[in-house]
Amino acid sequence: MDDPINQGPGDVTVSHCNIISTNGKQTKDFGPRVWNTIILTESMGLLQGDPIFISGEITIVDAAGLFNEMNFSGDEKVEFRFKTPPKEEIEFIGKVYHINVSDFDTKRSITLKFVSAEKILAEQVKFNRAYRDVLYSDMAQDIFSSLNPISQKKIYAEPTKNKGSLIINNKSPVDALTMIAKVARSSSYMGANYVFFEQVGGVFQFVSIESLVDPTKVDSSMIYFYGAVPKGIRSLDKLKQIKSYTVLSMPNIVSNVQRGMYAGTTVSNDLIKRQIGYSTFNYDESYDKYKSVNFNEVGSSGKTTLLTNKNYSQRNEGYVHFVPKHFKSFDTDTNHGDDREESLLVRNSQLQQINAIRLQLVIAGDSQRKVGEVIEVVIPAVEKKTKKVGGRTDLAFSGRYLVTKVKHVVTSKSGGYETIMLLTKDSYAEPLPVKV
């Protein structure tokens, strides 16, 4: 780690790591490398319980009374910069929110858990707004501005085609942004899959998943392979090796049916018009309307759907959701409730699809990886190998993936650096065989 000439994959340069206590003391005054481990995590928050803010922890093995000297209390400021030479540097400033302490015979392990300051601010700030016929992307910009008094970070809001009219009462900015993400529809895509999350680099994203993965516009930023170099790869510039991988989930048909991934119905009740309306969703018929991580169709081979049995898509009575409406409640033609009626079934299906197939990769540390990008994975088929290089690839797990979580683990003592990525996809790279 200290030899910049011979650095390679997995090496790291930590140019700065400092903790500032509430009493004004700083760990950098006690030495250049007081810390033992830095863990930094980015997440898109696509699974229940996943954060949308950058978080992590710094571990210190204290044998010199640093804990008492610094007066650690759980409200410290952390700042650090590290990178994989010669790639772009990751810089982060956050706040400690919790401390874990473990005592040994002559040492004490101190783990300082930190998060973006915006997370703590969002829990404290409540605001009120009224919007009338406003694009949801403009709403997102305005809502995020309530965090600006202390935040220097920016938000990118992908333009929406639909407008909303609603009143926000005593909500945190994050709750409000999460709420409007559920109904926002991109001006460039047909789906209803907006997400809100923080990226390294001081940017928050309010974007559709389709804009992140669209294979006609978004190329894979890197190809990762496991085992021997795959056939057909001529350039190694965008090729990196996987240290290990774990299959976390595959489609669960029973759960998907119960939760309306393949089909569903919304029943709306307008109290003013005294009208009941019905909307239905069919996964098989609508698949081509929405952009998937992999191309929706591969030549004459067929569609890359998660399921080839059309019967599941035709039984929309299996999942029913009720949506109340109030005609011209804001003296406008449409309001927030109307958008829910139109987007609920599509969004419900698309968010389940994107989490259908999940992998976890462990690679040599790479400070360039971030959530929201697309990478390609090449995994060999589990079979008897007859050649030293190449072989068939696993059709289920190879292909393009969306990176939904990235964890950087930097260790001071060994100079080790690993990056752990959580990958998801809503489609296969090669179509499934059709039942005859």
**CA torsion, ordered 300, 347, 249, 245, to nearest 10 deg:** 80
pLDDT of residue 329: 79
Domains and CATH numbers, the chain: 4-117 (2.40.10.10), 121-211 (3.55.50.30), 214-249+355-425 (2.40.30.150), 253-351 (no CATH)
What is each CA distance from 227 to 150, 241, 242, 388, in whole angstroms? 48, 8, 8, 10
pLDDT, one tens digit per residue, over 13-53 is 999 999 999 999 999 999 878 999 999 999 999 998 899 99
Provide the 8-state DSSP code for 21. Answer: -
pLDDT band (50, 70, 90) for residue 299:
confident
- Tracing tokens 């863990």 back to the chain, one arrives at 39
pTM above 0.75, yes or no: yes
pLDDT of residue 103: 86
pLDDT band (50, 70, 90) for residue 335:
confident
pLDDT of residue 6: 44
Which sign does the torsion angle of CA 234, 237, 243, 247 carry? negative
pLDDT of residue 412: 84
Instruction: Please tell me which residue, 342 or 173, carries the higher pLDDT value.
Output: 173
Max avg pLDDT among 1-15, 241-255, 374-388, 391-405: 241-255
- Name the CA radius of gyration of the chain, rounded: 24
Q: What share of the chain is helix, strand, coil (3-state, %, to 5)?
A: 20, 40, 40
CA separation for the pair 127, 135 (Å, rounded): 19
Whether the per-residue pLDDT at 433 is higher than 90: the answer is no
pLDDT of residue 7: 55
Whether the per-residue pLDDT at 250 is higher than 90: the answer is yes
pLDDT of residue 178: 94
Q: E strands of 237-380, at which residues?
A: 239-249, 263-270, 275-282, 297-298, 302-303, 320-325, 357-364, 374-378
- Tracing tokens 């709420």 back to the chain, one arrives at 179
Whether the per-residue pLDDT at 330 is higher than 90: the answer is no
**Strands across the sheet with 275-282, in order?**
275-282, 263-270, 320-325
pLDDT of residue 1: 46
For residue 286, the tally of other CB atoms under 10 A from its CB is 16
- Tracing tokens 């516009």 back to the chain, one arrives at 217
- Peptide bond between residue 86 and the one before it cis (omega within 30 degrees of 0): yes
Report the largest interatomic distance among the alpha carbons of the chain, rounded to a whole angstrom: 75
Mapping DSSP onto H, E and C, the string for 148-173 reads CCCCCCEEEECCECCEEEEEEEEECH
pLDDT, one tens digit per residue, over 75-109 is 999 999 999 988 889 999 999 999 999 988 889 99
